[in-house]
């Protein structure tokens, strides 16, 4: 399983500062294009934050889950 964070930031320094402050240890990517972020456009992101769980083929199997629901879905998928 991989976690990838896609940022809609515009300022590289502030983006990197937030990653360090929040101690994010997973992959972080951004083109620093705010709502013109190509990855966000590809997945039709309409709100921040948005979450997408993809299977091994790239198909979206769940989206915009939070908290307990997100944790349960991840555990379900990891048990397969």
Per-residue pLDDT, averaged over 24-42, amounts to 94
User: What is the reported pLDDT for 28?
Assistant: 95
pLDDT at 9 over 80: yes
pLDDT, averaged across the chain:
92
Q: What is the DSSP string of 54-70?
A: E-TTS-EEEES--HHHH
- The band of 3, judged by pLDDT with boundaries at 50, 70 and 90, is confident
pTM: 0.77
**How many Å apart are CA 40 and CA 48, to the nearest integer?**
10
pLDDT, tens only, 44-64? 999 999 999 998 888 999 999
């Amino acid at each position: 399983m991989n976690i990838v964070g896609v940022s809609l930031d515009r300022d590289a320094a502030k983006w990197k500062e937030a990653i360090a402050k929040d101690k994010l240890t997973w992959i972080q990517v951004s083109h620093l294009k705010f709502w013109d972020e190509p990855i966000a456009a590809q997945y039709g992101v309409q709100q921040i934050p948005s979450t997408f769980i993809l299977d091994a083929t790239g198909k979206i199997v769940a989206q915009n889950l939070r908290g307990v629901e997100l944790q349960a879905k991840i555990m379900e998928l990891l048990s397969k």
